[in-house]
Structure 1
């Protein structure tokens, strides 16, 4: 069966070969809460359904309108089998409970590298931030070098103590990087981005081939595991 959990997921968990992130637009904070509960009821009322799915987590956007979904798959073949046999009936039940959900996009990734949680750090993230870094069409091969530059900065004196972890995913279509970051709090994140920019972080921001950055803030709203 399916079990609900309050624990945040570990993006570095062994066996995750295909991490997916998707976005739904639901329109209001009230509908965010209704949709999260509809997802929970739908999944908890059924068998887990796929041995290829290790965990499924839903996040409420601070914009009051969106939900982010993070699913940890062993491989893309497992997702494709689920998509063909189980996905639609579950979405239909959710849509019956909360009509008018807009499913905006689903992106497929591979985890490249992480700024891992320090040993013994037991903080529960108060804020999840995703940053999408888009690259020029001919710059896909530069994405890994850019991540390496960021991780070098995070390992140095410019690292912020309010950052718990950061996980850098390369999109399988070659267009962008997604950073899934755990922060201690909104205040810690605000202080980090509001401070002066060091030369090392300026190199990150102005790296050749980078088109732009898009950031979003979330709170963990639902975890589902087998």
Structure 2
């Protein structure tokens, strides 16, 4: 059976071979809640699908419409086997409970690097997950790595860091098989903040990294190949894990 509610997933665990991110659009906060309940009922009533699924994590979008799924698999092949043999039954049960869910696609990522501000005994709790998708106009993955390296350097050297930023985990998109194949040159930043208010305050005060005048942030603003980014905010709802 799937496990009970648990802490946020460890994005740096070494046995994750495929980090899969996807979103569903459901329309209203009431349908968000109904979809969460249907998803939990479906997963709780079945055996854990395979040991190769390490965790299945569910997030509620603060827009009142979106749900994000973040699944940690040992390999992409294990995910495709789940799709072939078990996914349809689960999806059908959820759709019967909440008709009309729009599924917006799924992409495979691999974590590249992270930045963490926590020290031992840090009491801060993530109240907001900001998921930032960063697009580039050059397919060279070394360009994306260079951009991430520069952002982490800027965060590490920022003289006025935001106290609300807990961590940031940067991922590179991976061109997988079948519906996971993509031609996007993209990175993803999964950033934990203490609250939406802290995140808004950081943006409003141009810290960290929005308007700071350090040489590192200036280089990021002038970075050749950066195309743009989109940001969505989520609240962690539940992790499903094997017992």
Judge which range, 85-94 or 113-122, deviates more. Answer: 113-122
Deviation at 1:13, TM superposition (A): 1.7
Match of 1:219 in 2: 235
TM-score, length-scaled by structure 2: 0.89
CA shift, 1:83, in A, is 0.8
Greater mean alpha carbon deviation, residues 196-205 or residues 25-34: 196-205
2:163 maps to which residue? 161
| Equivalent in the alignment of 1:23 | 23
Residue in 2 that maps onto 1:175: 185
Counterpart check, 1:198 vs 2:199: no
Bigger shift: residues 102-111 or 155-164:
155-164
Correspondence for 1:101: 101
Q: CA contact under 8 A between 1:36 and 1:222: conserved in structure 2?
A: no
The two structures have a TM-score, normalised by structure 1, of 0.95
For structure 1, the residue ranges without an aligned partner over 5 or more in a row are none
Aligned twin of 2:5: 5
> How far off is 1:138 after superposition?
4.0
Q: 1:118 offset after TM fit, Å?
A: 2.2
- Check 1:29–1:211 CA distance in 2 against 1; reply closer, same or farther (3 A cut): same
Given the superposition, is the C-alpha separation of residues 206 and 213 from structure 1 closer, same or farther in structure 2, using an over 3 Å criterion?
farther
3-state SS of paired residue (2:16): coil
Quote the Cα distance in structure 1 between the aligned partners of 2:140 and 2:53.
Answer: 32
Q: How does 1:29-178 map to 2 (within 5 A)?
A: 29-120=29-120, 121-156=122-157, 157-173=159-175, 175-178=185-188
Q: Give the superposed CA RMSD.
A: 1.4
8 Å Cα contact 1:139/1:209 also seen in 2: no
Count of paired positions? 226
Deviating beyond 6 angstroms after TM superposition, the runs of 4 or more aligned structure 1 residues are none
Task: Say which is worse superposed, 152-161 or 176-185, in terms of deviation.
Answer: 152-161
User: Structure 2, unaligned stretches of length 5 or more?
Assistant: 176-183
